[in-house]
């Protein structure tokens, strides 16, 4: 196991931020750590990266205990903390040389050139960090997390505050670098986890409320899935309600409808047969996908 978290409790004074949390992450997995603000995501990540000690329980990274072998763990882990603290007065290259020195890397210069290339910072390498856009600052944060070629990457809200273009770029970068690493990445944005991760761990008020493969969890919700249908002709709500087992109908734009079954049964065949009998032309018919967002809402609003 790359990350093993066993019955971890973390208390800040009398307040418990983590209650008996356990999970593990296998080598090569990209796992999303999802939860509303204040759920305990950053606290858990700080414990895994040796920045904070747990009150109870055990955590190990690649078999090394975070309390007993902190130096070894730090050498195996790349960490991008929340809000990405950087030295704004330093130049990109100067900063990365400094971080390479902290890790006591051999061939510092070569490694810095390599990592600047890997995260796409070439055009900005001579700038001061403070002069960079938020997306490029995030690349510098990722470069410092990756410079010592760690086996495990811990990314705390890596895309928060980015504009849509920067977001896509950083997501793609994480996907690319994540191919050869174990990644645990926190977010409170469901689409993000859907876009990058294969598995999701959902935490709410210090408790793990779900730990599943993303596609499994999306189907785990006992949702009454709708069928989205587009007709060539104008049909009315009343006409659609005549289809066997259709209990509810919502308009989704011109000639587009969401049809819901009255007993959760599959209504696709009924829609098709009825349309043929009425001589309506179906342009498309698809099952509405359960969004991870709905699962998240249902699990964290209890």
End-to-end alpha-carbon separation of the chain, Å? Answer: 31
If one asks whether residue 42 binds ligand ADP (CB under 6 A), the answer comes out as: yes
Q: Which of 231, 289, 224, 275 is nearest to 255 (CA)?
A: 231
If one asks whether residue 40 binds ligand ADP (CB under 6 A), the answer comes out as: yes
- Quote the CA–CA distance of 185 and 178 in Å, as a whole number: 10
Q: Which residues have CB under 8 Å from 50's CB, separation 6+?
A: 66, 70, 73, 74, 77
Segment near ligand ADP (CB under 6 A); pick from 31-39, 114-122, 129-137, 176-184: 31-39
If one asks whether residue 139 binds ligand ADP (CB under 6 A), the answer comes out as: no
- Burial (CB < 10 A; 0-12, 13-18, 19+), residue 68, is exposed
Q: Scanning the structure block, which residue is given the tokens 């931020």?
A: 17
Segment near ligand ADP (CB under 6 A); pick from 36-44, 138-146, 171-179, 266-274: 36-44
207, 212, 213, 218: CA torsion to nearest 10:
-90
If one asks whether residue 81 binds ligand ADP (CB under 6 A), the answer comes out as: no
How many alpha carbons fall within 13 Å on the CB side of residue 101?
6
Residue selected from 38, 63, 101, 130 as contacting ligand ADP according to rule CB under 6 A: 38
- Contact predicate 9/55, CB 8 Å: yes
Number of residues counted as binding ligand ADP (CB under 6 A):
10
- Quote the CA–CA distance of 43 and 11 in Å, as a whole number: 10
* Residue 39 vs 115, nearer CB to ligand ADP: 39
- Contact predicate 135/169, CB 8 Å: yes
Segment near ligand ADP (CB under 6 A); pick from 34-42, 134-142, 163-171, 243-251: 34-42
If one asks whether residue 165 binds ligand ADP (CB under 6 A), the answer comes out as: no
- Quote the CA–CA distance of 110 and 264 in Å, as a whole number: 60
Segment near ligand ADP (CB under 6 A); pick from 32-40, 111-119, 192-200, 284-292: 32-40
Least distance to ligand ADP, CB of residue 49, Å: 13
- Contact predicate 68/145, CB 8 Å: no
* Residue 52 vs 260, nearer CB to ligand ADP: 52
If one asks whether residue 43 binds ligand ADP (CB under 6 A), the answer comes out as: yes
If one asks whether residue 17 binds ligand ADP (CB under 6 A), the answer comes out as: yes
Structure tokens at 191: 């689409």
If one asks whether residue 37 binds ligand ADP (CB under 6 A), the answer comes out as: yes
Residue selected from 8, 31, 39, 193 as contacting ligand ADP according to rule CB under 6 A: 39
Residue selected from 3, 5, 29, 41 as contacting ligand ADP according to rule CB under 6 A: 41
Least distance to ligand ADP, CB of residue 36, Å: 7
If one asks whether residue 12 binds ligand ADP (CB under 6 A), the answer comes out as: yes
Least distance to ligand ADP, CB of residue 193, Å: 14
Residues that bind ligand ADP (CB under 6 A): 12, 17, 35, 37-43
């Amino acid at each position: 196991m790359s990350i093993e978290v066993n019955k971890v409790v973390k208390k800040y004074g009398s307040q418990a931020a983590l209650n008996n949390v356990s999970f593990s992450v296998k080598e090569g997995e990209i796992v999303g750590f999802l939860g509303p603000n204040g759920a305990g995501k950053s606290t858990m990540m700080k414990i895994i990266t040796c920045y904070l000690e747990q009150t109870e329980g055990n955590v190990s990274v690649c078999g090394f205990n975070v309390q007993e072998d902190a130096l070894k763990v730090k050498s195996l882990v790349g960490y991008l903390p929340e809000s990405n603290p950087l030295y704004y007065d330093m130049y990109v290259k100067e900063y990365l040389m400094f971080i390479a020195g902290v890790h006591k890397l051999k061939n510092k210069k070569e490694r810095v050139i390599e990592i600047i290339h890997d995260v796409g910072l070439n055009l900005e390498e001579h700038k001061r960090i403070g002069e960079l856009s938020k997306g490029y600052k995030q690349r510098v944060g990722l470069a410092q997390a990756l410079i010592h070629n760690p086996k495990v990457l811990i990314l705390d809200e890596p895309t928060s505050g980015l504009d849509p273009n920067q977001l896509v770029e950083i997501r793609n970068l994480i996907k690319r670098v994540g191919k050869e690493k174990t990644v645990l990445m926190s977010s409170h944005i469901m689409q993000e986890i859907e876009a990058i991760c294969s598995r999701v761990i959902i935490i709410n008020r210090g408790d793990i409320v779900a730990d599943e493969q993303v596609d499994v969890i999306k189907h785990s919700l006992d949702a009454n899935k709708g069928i989205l249908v587009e007709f060539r002709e104008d049909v009315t709500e009343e006409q659609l309600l005549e289809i066997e087992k259709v209990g509810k109908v919502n308009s989704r734009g011109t000639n587009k409808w969401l049809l819901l079954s009255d007993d959760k049964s599959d209504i696709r065949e009924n829609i098709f047969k009825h349309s043929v009998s009425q001589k309506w032309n179906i342009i498309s018919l698809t099952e509405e996908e359960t969004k991870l967002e709905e699962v998240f809402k249902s699990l964290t609003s209890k």
